Amino acid sequence: LESKDEFFPIIDLCKLWQAAIVHLDDPLLAIKAGQVVHPSDYGLIGALAMNCANIGESILSMSHYRHLFNGGFHSRSHAGINAIYEFIAPPELSVELARPIIELDFSANINLAKFVTDHQYDDLMTPNCIGFNFPPLVAMEEYEALFGCSVLFNQDTNCIISELDILGAKVHEPNLA
């Protein structure tokens, strides 16, 4: 924690999460932590997300500035038949080390989307499906209970698949200025 680097090294952050998961004996700790994230936890980037006109703009702004608060992970979103949010771990991280950060991100993004829309669209903010590129650590039902949707493992990518309508959901009382 005494690092003088601009960012806390991402590998150390991942190791810290792994240690917390082992110490608390809770393989789903990162998902649970994401459920209590508040936009203020992301500072100015969270404030930006809260002041976009809709969830689509909010996702784009968070994706664009993500590197400012983690220095290693990237995300991208695209729309076709569904809205897809993809989270990309740096290649130097093993899947096991990156796992808690990815789970935290997905859980936090779902929670933040519900928060910034003042829970007016909670059903819409619940994804259709989540895909992870790693195997499950506990029974599938535990993941599905926490995320509220089907969860697939050992996929090619880490992604959240949602209804396309999610992108137009209005952020509650944004300050567009």
pLDDT tens-digit map of 12-47? 889 999 999 999 999 999 999 999 999 888 888 888
pLDDT the model gives residue 32: 98
DSSP 119: T
Confidence tier at 60 by pLDDT (50, 70, 90): confident
Mean pLDDT of the chain: 89
- In this prediction, residue 38 carries a pLDDT of 92
pLDDT value, residue 142: 97
150 is written with which tokens?
């089907």
Give 128's contacts (C-beta < 8 A, 6+ positions apart).
Answer: 82, 149, 150, 161, 162, 163
**Two structure tokens written together for 56:** 């689509």
Local confidence band at 70 (pLDDT 50, 70, 90 cut-offs): low
Q: How confident is the model at residue 6 (pLDDT cuts 50, 70, 90)?
A: low
pLDDT at residue 76 in the model = 83
Sheet containing strand 129-131, strands side by side: 74-79, 82-88, 158-163, 129-131, 150-152
Angle formed by the axes of helices 10-24 and 95-116, nearest 10°: 90
**Token pair listed for 59:** 């996702």
Q: Would you state the structure tokens that stand for residue 51, as one six-digit string? A: 């002041």
